[in-house]
């Protein structure tokens, strides 16, 4: 016996069990083409999958995710892990603020990590990475990716740990070395007179603070950090594809699929008024080496952007730090920031540049003053003002519309570690860097 049937949209049930009639009464992950439903076809969008539950289960032996959850408890921020099934990269981390449930249009804020300081996929084969992520480094040391990863991720996301939380967190997560995650620079040893070896990378950058609701500020953004694929860097000539879809024309489609997953209610329960998230224009931030990808993306797909934030970016000017023209002889020269920025400004895209200038630094853009106008903002710090090599940026909680005043650069306190008999101790020294807020211009 043959039975003919058709589907008629009547509503869909969200994660809380409510019947919803938004999205033309069709579940966000079902193709809303009513002609397909009329023909009895139910097509599911599986371009992006929410992998968070399985990801955390696979990381049970990794303390970093529990540490992150303990530090961020009560902040209204949700870390989700999405899997992109259309190519590279597979894993995309996303921080979604609770207050977005009251928002319709959201600006995705994509952060491109530099190749030498990033969360990356290794081994590169997706199946091996998810099922048996064991690999050996050049020294034949054995590593298990899911036991060792996540450190760079939480360094980018978490703010420095307040002193009053150090003791309890240290007791709960002794392996996290919590005292080194305060806004304090540790001097491990005096290499020679006037020269110090600093432990600065353990201080967390606090990027997710800029997305947190504070007082009457509720930025309509979510933070996205795509992984990089470790072995796709081809140094001898032709391509750099470790970011894949994150820097291609596919990026808007990937973000749309993420939003549909969020709209289903399994990631971020929506208000009963039926508001669903929609993609606004993209904000893209790059740091250091990933300036290479930022300028190339902006040159090709600038109309997809709302703003860019370049933090000490490579390829800003000719002969800039890490200019790939010196890495890949005979290959097409990649885009330079100084050439891309004027075109972005003409399109009304805001440009923010943060970096040092002075001897050995190349972060003063070669863009004419009359071109910059009101849409380009620079926070340039004289390099001679600091004895240390690095600055740490803490986004201000009032960051709502990319005003220059929303960027705050802090210089941490320093501590010395001096041997006493055979037992080292921590001693607070008179700071030669004082913690302060720097001028924003």
Per the model's pLDDT, the better-predicted residue between 426 and 270 turns out to be 270
For the chain, the distance separating the N- and C-terminal CA atoms, rounded to the nearest angstrom, is 77
- The answer to whether the bond into 89 is cis (omega within 30° of 0) is yes
For residue 269, the model assigns a pLDDT of 61
DSSP state of 281: P
* pLDDT for residue 20 is more than 90: no
> For 122-173, what is each residue's pLDDT tens digit?
888 888 888 877 766 666 677 777 888 899 999 999 988 888 999 999 999 9
How many residues are recorded in the chain? 441
Is 290 in contact with 246 (CB distance < 8 Å)? no
Range of weakest confidence among 177-181, 294-298, 384-388: 384-388
Confidence of residue 387 (pLDDT cuts 50, 70, 90): very low
Alpha carbon distance 370, 377 (integer Å)? 13
Per the model's pLDDT, the better-predicted residue between 240 and 272 turns out to be 272
The full set of domain ranges for the chain reads: 1-44, 46-159+214-278
Is 261 in contact with 10 (CB distance < 8 Å)? no
Furthest C-alpha separation in the chain: 92
Q: Which of 59-68, 123-132, 197-206, 355-364 has the highest mean pLDDT?
A: 59-68
> For 82-120, what is each residue's pLDDT tens digit?
999 999 899 999 999 988 887 888 999 999 998 888 898
For residue 145, the model assigns a pLDDT of 79
Is 76 in contact with 213 (CB distance < 8 Å)? yes
Q: What percent of the chain has pLDDT over 90?
A: 29
Find all residues with CB under 8 Å of 326, minimum gap 6, and list them. Answer: none
């Amino acid at each position: 016996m043959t039975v003919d049937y058709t589907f008629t949209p009547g509503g869909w049930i969200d994660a809380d069990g409510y019947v919803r009639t938004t999205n033309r009464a069709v579940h966000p992950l079902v193709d809303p083409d009513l002609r397909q439903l009329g023909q009895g076809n139910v097509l599911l969008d599986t371009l992006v999958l929410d992998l968070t539950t399985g990801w955390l289960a696979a990381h049970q032996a990794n303390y970093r995710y529990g540490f992150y959850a303990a530090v961020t408890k009560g902040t209204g921020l949700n870390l989700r892990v999405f899997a992109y099934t259309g190519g590279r990269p597979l894993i995309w981390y996303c921080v979604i603020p609770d207050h977005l449930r009251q928002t319709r249009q959201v600006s995705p804020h994509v952060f491109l990590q530099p190749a030498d300081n990033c969360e990356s996929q290794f081994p590169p084969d997706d199946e091996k990475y998810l099922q048996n992520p064991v690999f050996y480094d050049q020294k034949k040391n054995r590593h298990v990716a899911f036991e060792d990863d996540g450190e760079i991720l939480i360094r980018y996301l978490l703010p420095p740990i307040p002193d009053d939380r150090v003791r309890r967190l240290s007791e709960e997560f002794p392996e996290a070395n919590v005292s080194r995650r305060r806004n304090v620079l540790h001097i491990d040893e005096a290499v020679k007179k006037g020269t110090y070896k600093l432990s600065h990378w353990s201080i967390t950058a606090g990027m997710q603070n800029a997305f947190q609701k504070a007082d009457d500020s509720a930025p309509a953004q979510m933070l996205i950090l795509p992984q990089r694929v470790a072995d796709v860097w081809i140094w001898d000539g032709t391509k750099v594809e470790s970011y894949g879809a994150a820097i291609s024309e596919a990026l808007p489609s990937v973000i749309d699929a993420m939003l549909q997953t969020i709209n289903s209610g399994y990631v971020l329960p929506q208000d009963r008024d039926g508001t669903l998230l929609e993609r606004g224009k993209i904000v893209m931030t790059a740091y250091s080496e990933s300036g290479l990808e930022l300028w190339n993306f902006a040159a090709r797909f600038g109309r997809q952007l709302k703003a860019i934030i370049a933090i000490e970016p490579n390829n800003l000017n000719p002969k800039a730090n890490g200019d790939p023209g010196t890495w890949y002889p005979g290959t097409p020269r990649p885009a330079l920031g100084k050439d891309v920025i004027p075109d972005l400004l003409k399109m009304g895209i805001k440009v923010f540049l943060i970096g040092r200038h002075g001897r050995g630094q190349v972060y003063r853009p070669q863009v004419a003053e009359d071109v910059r106008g009101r849409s380009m903002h620079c926070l340039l710090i004289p390099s001679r003002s600091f004895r240390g090599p690095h600055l740490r940026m803490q986004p201000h909680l009032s960051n709502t519309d990319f005003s220059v005043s929303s960027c705050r650069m802090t210089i941490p306190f320093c501590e010395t570690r001096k041997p006493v008999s055979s037992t080292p101790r921590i001693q607070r020294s008179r700071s030669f860097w004082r913690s302060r807020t720097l001028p924003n211009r």
